[in-house]
Amino acid sequence: MRPVRDVVIVGGGPVGTMLACVLAVGGIDVEVLEQREQPSLRSRAIGIHPPSLATLAGIGVLDALLERAVRIGAGEVRCDGRRLGQLSFERAAPRYPFVAALPQYETEALLRQRFEQLRPGRYRSGVTVTAVRDGGAAVLLSTDAGQVEARYVIGADGARSVVRHAAGITWQQLGRRETYLMGDFIDTALADTGPGASRAVLYFERGGVVESFPLPGGRRRWVAMTDFLATDAGSADLAALIRHRTGVRVAEPVGEASAFAVQQRLAGRMHAGRIVLVGDAAHQISPIGGQGMNLGWLDAVALAPALQRALLVPSQAASVLAGYDRTRRNAARRAAVQAGFNMNMGRPAHGVRLGARNALVRALTLPPANELIARAFTMRWL
Ligand SMILES: Cc1cc2nc3c(=O)[nH]c(=O)nc-3n(C[C@H](O)[C@H](O)[C@H](O)COP(=O)(O)OP(=O)(O)OC[C@H]3O[C@@H](n4cnc5c(N)ncnc54)[C@H](O)[C@@H]3O)c2cc1C
C-alpha cells in the first residue's frame, strides 16, 4: 500500500490542477489522479476573469498565461446593425482591467506544467477512480491502478462526478435547457468592431443571441443560440447563421464547429465527511457569460485554507468545511442566476419584447448601472 496522502484530487481538469497548485504552494502533500492518458484538445472555457488572474499570479502562472492570451478590455451589445451600449472593464477591476482569453486546453497545460514543477510525478495521468469509501479516519479510493488512501479526497471530476455519486450527494437541476452552436474563425470582425479593438461583441438579434470573442492568433470564437441541438451542423452552417442574424461574414474556420446544450445544476452539498467537491462536480453553470471554470477556481481559493486548517486542527475540520460549503454554494447560486439572466436576454425577441429588452440594455450600459454590470461580468461578486 502506498503512503496515505494528505489530499488526493480526483480529476486533473482546470479546477483540480489549480487546486493542486494552490495546495502545493501552501506546502500540502497532494496528488492528482486523472483518467485521461492524453490531455483533451476540446476548446471550452476561454474567458479568465480578474479574480482568477490574481490567483494565477499567486501560483506563478500569470506571466506565461498573459504572454499567450488576448486581453478583452471592453464589450458591446448590438442589434439590427447598431450599437445599443458598451461596457468597459477598466474601472470594475483596477488591478487587471481586462478579461484574458485563451483556449482552455492551453490554460490547463500551463497549470499542469506548474504543478509538475511544484510536485514532480504527482499528476498521475491514465488513472481512473472507480470507487470511493470514507472510512472516517481516511478515505479509500479504488482505481484501475490499485488502491490509494488519503486524509481528504477532492472530487474535481466534472459534471458526471463519480466522487459526488459515491458520497451520496444529490444533483439538482436549475432552470431550463438551451442549445448553442460554437466555432472559431479567422477574425474578420475587427472592421465591424473598430480597429485593434479586442472586444467581446454580443449581438442581441431577433432570432436569438450571437456572441463573438477575440482569441489569440487572430482568431475569434463565435457562439449562436439554436432552436435545437444541431449535432450535424458544421462551420459553414454556423457561418450562414451568423451572417443571417448579424450581417457579419465569417470565413476560414479554425477547427470544426460544435453544438452544445446548456444545463445548470447544483450539488445538494459540497462536502460529506472527508470528501469535498469543487468545480463542475459541485455546480454546472451555463457557459453563457463564461463563469464555470472561474467559479471552480474561486472554490479552490476558498478550499485551500479550509483544508489546511482541517489538516492542522482536526477538531475544527467540520466547521471550516461547513463554511466552505455555505459560501461556495451561495456563490454558485448567484452565478447561476447571472447566467440565467444572460440566457434570458439572449432569447429570440420581437415587437414589444424586443423594444423593452433593447431599452433595458441601454439603461444597463449607462451610468450608474454600467459599473455594477461590469463588476458582475468580471466576477467581482463571486
Ligand atoms: C462550450 C463551453 C464554453 C465554456 N466557456 C467558459 C468560459 O469562457 N469561462 C469559464 O469560466 N467557463 C467556461 N466553460 C465551463 C468550463 O469549461 C468548465 O466549468 C470547466 O471545464 C470545469 O472544470 P473542472 O476541472 O471542474 O471539470 P472538467 O473540466 O470536466 O475536468 C474534470 C476532469 O476529471 C477527469 N475525471 C472524470 N472522472 C474521473 C475519474 N473517475 N477518475 C479520474 N479522473 C476523472 C476528467 O477526465 C477531466 O479531466 C465552458 C464550457 C463549455 C462547454
Q: What confidence tier does 88 reach under pLDDT thresholds 50, 70, 90? A: confident
Q: Which 3 state secondary structure label does DSSP give 289? A: coil
Among 6-10, 128-132, 138-142, 184-188, the minimum mean pLDDT is found in 184-188
Q: Mean pLDDT throughout 174-203?
A: 76
Q: Mean pLDDT throughout 336-343?
A: 87
pLDDT value for 193: 45
Topology given in CATH for the domain delimited by 175-263+349-377: Alpha-Beta Plaits (3.30.70)
Cα–Cα distance for residue pair 343/358, rounded to 1 Å: 15
Q: Which atom of ligand 1 is found nearest the CA of 15?
A: 25
Q: How far is the CA of 352 from the centre of ligand 1 (A)?
A: 39
Q: Mean pLDDT throughout 137-162?
A: 97
For residue 382, is pLDDT > 80? no
Q: What confidence tier does 33 reach under pLDDT thresholds 50, 70, 90? A: very high
Nearest CA to ligand 1 atom 30: 158
For residue 325, is pLDDT > 80? yes
For residue 191, is pLDDT > 50? no
Nearest CA to ligand 1 atom 45: 11
Q: How far is the CA of 245 from the centre of ligand 1 (A)?
A: 30
Nearest CA to ligand 1 atom 5: 45
Q: Does the CA dihedral 247-249-254-255 come out positive or negative?
A: positive
pTM: 0.94
Q: How far is the CA of 88 from the centre of ligand 1 (A)?
A: 28
The model's pLDDT over 257-285, given as tens digits with 9 standing for 90+, comes to 999 998 899 999 999 999 999 999 999 99
Q: Mean pLDDT throughout 199-227?
A: 94
Residue type at 91? Answer: R
Nearest CA to ligand 1 atom 41: 129
Q: How far is the CA of 16 from the centre of ligand 1 (A)?
A: 9
Q: Which of 52, 157, 181 gets mutated to test ligand 1 (max ligand atoms within 8 A of its CB)?
A: 157
Assigned architecture for domain 5-46+103-170+268-344: 3-Layer(bba) Sandwich (3.50)
Q: Select the more confidently predicted residue: 116 or 87.
A: 116
pLDDT value for 146: 95
Q: What confidence tier does 368 reach under pLDDT thresholds 50, 70, 90? A: confident
Q: Mean pLDDT throughout 133-142?
A: 96
Set of cell numbers at residue 171: 444533483
Tell me the H-state helices in the chain. 14-25, 50-58, 62-68, 104-118, 162-166, 190-193, 235-246, 292-312, 317-345, 351-364, 369-377
Q: Select the more confidently predicted residue: 92 or 53.
A: 53
Among 90-104, 121-135, 325-339, 366-380, the minimum mean pLDDT is found in 366-380
Q: How far is the CA of 24 from the centre of ligand 1 (A)?
A: 21
Residues 346, 348, 353, 357, Cα dihedral to 10° = 20
Among 88-102, 113-127, 158-172, the minimum mean pLDDT is found in 88-102
Cα–Cα distance for residue pair 271/282, rounded to 1 Å: 9
CA 364 to chain centre: 24
Q: How far is the CA of 206 from the centre of ligand 1 (A)?
A: 31
pLDDT value for 346: 86
Q: Which atom of ligand 1 is found nearest the CA of 162?
A: 41
Cα–Cα distance for residue pair 81/79, rounded to 1 Å: 5
- Residue spans of the domains in the chain: they are 5-46+103-170+268-344, 175-263+349-377
Q: CB under 8 Å to 294, separation ≥6 — which residues? A: 45, 47, 48, 49, 51, 52, 379, 382
Q: Does the CA dihedral 116-117-118-120 come out positive or negative?
A: positive
For residue 55, is pLDDT > 70? yes
CA-CA distances (angstroms) from residue 18 to 11, 24, 161, 192, 289? 11, 10, 18, 36, 21
Bridge partner list, 205:
208
Q: Which of 8, 32, 44 gets mutated to test ligand 1 (max ligand atoms within 8 A of its CB)?
A: 44
Q: With contact defined as beta carbons under 8 Å apart, do 89 and 377 qualify? A: yes
Q: How far is the CA of 1 from the centre of ligand 1 (A)?
A: 31
pLDDT value for 223: 95
For residue 380, is pLDDT > 70? no
Taking Cα atoms as reference points, which of 178, 287, 183, 177 lies closest to residue 242?
183
**Which protein residues are within 6 Å of ligand 1, measured from CB?**
10-16, 33-36, 44-47, 104, 128-129, 156-158, 162, 182, 260, 279-280, 287, 290-294, 296
Q: How far is the CA of 15 from the centre of ligand 1 (A)?
A: 8
Taking Cα atoms as reference points, which of 241, 31, 47, 221 lies closest to residue 139?
31
Nearest CA to ligand 1 atom 13: 45
**Mean pLDDT, rounded, of the chain:** 92
Taking Cα atoms as reference points, which of 111, 82, 87 lies closest to residue 99?
87
CA 178 to chain centre: 17
Q: With contact defined as beta carbons under 8 Å apart, do 285 and 379 qualify? A: no
pLDDT value for 372: 75
Q: With contact defined as beta carbons under 8 Å apart, do 336 and 264 qualify? A: yes
Q: How far is the CA of 280 from the centre of ligand 1 (A)?
A: 6
Nearest CA to ligand 1 atom 39: 157
Q: Select the more confidently predicted residue: 161 or 188.
A: 161
The model's pLDDT over 12-30, given as tens digits with 9 standing for 90+, comes to 999 999 999 999 999 999 9
For residue 230, is pLDDT > 60? yes
Residue type at 284? Answer: Q
pLDDT value for 379: 65
CA-CA distances (angstroms) from residue 81 to 40, 48, 172, 183, 205? 37, 28, 40, 22, 9
Q: Mean pLDDT throughout 295-320?
A: 97
Q: Mean pLDDT throughout 136-143?
A: 96
